[in-house]
Amino acid sequence: MASSAHPAKSGVRVIVVGAGFAGLTAAIECHRKGHDVLILESFPELKILGDIISFAPNSGRIFQRWPGVDAKLDPIIHKSDGLLMKTYLGETLTKQTWDAERLAYGKAYNGHRGEIHEIVYHHALDIGINIRLGYKVDDYFETEGEAGVVANGERFVGDVVLAADGVRSKGRTIVLGYEDKPKSSGYAIYRTWFDSARLAEDPDTAWMVTNGDRHCAWLGPDIHFIAASIKNGKDFSWVCTHKDEADVEESWQAHAPLADALKVLEGWDPVVLKILKATPDPLIDWKLVYREPLPTWISPKRRIALIGDAAHPFLPTSIQGASQAMEDGATLGVCLTRGGKTHVQEAVAAFEALRYERVLAAQKTGEKTRDTWHKADWNEAKKDPESIKLKRGSWLLNFDAEEYAEENYSRTVALLNDPVAVRALHRPNAIE
């Protein structure tokens, strides 16, 4: 499935702001199509940061198109056979297994964000993408004929700019025409990643980290706690989504003492409390930012596009944020090829039309899962454990963004003058 052919140069100059998964995927996919790519990243050096991140089969197939990447990712990803679901008191509800999904839709890649990012980042460098670290973008600009950014006092000009610099992207201002501020979603997540040795020593927790990887979710009133072991049980990660009304302007991602999580999870399954007591202090406390769906992701002159979290932040319960960011990149590579240098604006508009309704539907899955888990009637859940399983529809997972864009580009362009019709054209019809 990997593709290493070198296409003819298209002449399309692409500036990507941000070297996260959205930016790197867009850059790699545009490079695959022969476009000239420059990435500007504000961080001065690559650091292996973060904890667990999930890439579903719909994005896994994108990794598999990049020569050598699957082979590098495979040893570091999570490999359990399913997700065990329990009540917050420790009663087992059900287990959702992945074998049928894997056979039907393909491979998922779940692992440490920093480790996966490092592999993708070095793949981009290896194929010749120009990445400039330590370049903070202060402004975006566009005319009918070009677009660009100002970073570190230097002006960079291209045919199109892709703003992949997250929920606080300055690109949002030029797209929306005003500065919008993130709001608290009312929730935050305690997050951590650590060596599992202490857990292996305790008989009550050893099952999570011995004889392969394990994945378990404990569900409670307005809280859920998900733990996973990785690398044949060697590493361990857990996340806890809990109520939080903190001002995200003041503190979006900060450290929190372990004692805060112990307080939130007081009275929970003793296994959960033992996991916490084996956890290094402090935790990351990550505020879940809420954004109303934007009316558009593209600028007035259609030469700047928001992608990934800059356009559409996801709740973690969707398990699709990173995957949809990668789909953005794959779609853009196709659109800019089909439009070519003379029709970049058409290509940018087609990208938004191809993606908008699918992303909106995917975002809603996260809201539904959170509400199902946090507001569950446990007596009813015990009678019907299927009701609390993750909804993993084929419309979402059995999807090839590159193929879809190729097949639907022409009829999308034909409808661009009818915004309602062109978005309706790509609204998923069979949402399970």
Nearest C-alpha neighbor of 230 from the set 116, 150, 386, 142: 116
For this structure, is 191 an active site residue? yes
* Coil vs helix vs strand at 200: helix
Q: Left if phi > 0, otherwise alpha if psi is -120 to 50, otherwise beta: which for 235? A: beta
Cis peptide before 313 (omega within 30 of 0): no
User: Which residue in 113, 191, 214, 358 is the catalytic one?
Assistant: 191
List 14's β-bridge partners, or say none: 37, 160
Q: Give the total residue count for the chain.
A: 432
Q: Please give the Cα distance from 431 to 418 (Å, whole number).
A: 24
Torsion, Cα 11 14 15 21, to 10 degrees, reads -140
Maximum distance among all Cα pairs of the chain, rounded to whole angstroms: 66
Contact 164, 20 (CB under 8 A): yes
Q: Please give the Cα distance from 329 to 56 (Å, whole number).
A: 15
What does the block give as tokens for 295? 């009316």
Residue 347's alpha-carbon distances to 232, 277, 297, 317, 413, in angstroms, are 44, 53, 13, 31, 8
Locate tokens 């559409």: which residue? 312
Q: Please give the Cα distance from 245 to 258 (Å, whole number).
A: 19
Question: What residues act catalytically?
Answer: 191
